[in-house]
Amino acid sequence: MLSTPNFQYLTVRKIISQPTDSSAQDFNTNRKSEIYIKETLKNIPRCKICNGLIHRNSISIDHIQRKEDGGLANVDNGQITHPYCNTGYKN
């Protein structure tokens, strides 16, 4: 991809790996970021229709049992989905 003229603006940066067991007592910025990403990805919400990760600014609440099939708007019949999955994909 980097050899393609359309993508020559991209650069590749070498990442120098840091030893995993450090004697430092304070977390550096990279380790803080790694810990945050590791913990956040374990708990991030997933779309109940496609199982994809859901961004906090792109959430739709969906009926598990469709309204057309008698589904009620109660907590037990609700699920978090992508807006696309809730409107376009299911129909």
Burial label for 84, CB within 10 Å (0-12, 13-18, 19+), is: middle
User: Which residue carries 């003229």 as its tokens?
Assistant: 5
Domain chopping of the chain, boundaries: 46-91
pTM (whole model) above 0.85: no
Please report, as a single letter, which amino acid is at residue 73. A
Q: Distances in Å between the alpha carbon of 79 and those of 58, 66, 75, 82, 90?
A: 14, 11, 8, 10, 14
Q: What is the pLDDT of residues 45-88, one digit of tens each?
A: 999 999 999 988 999 999 999 999 999 999 999 999 999 999 87
pLDDT the model gives residue 28: 92
Q: What is the pLDDT of residues 1-25, one digit of tens each?
A: 667 787 777 777 766 665 566 667 8
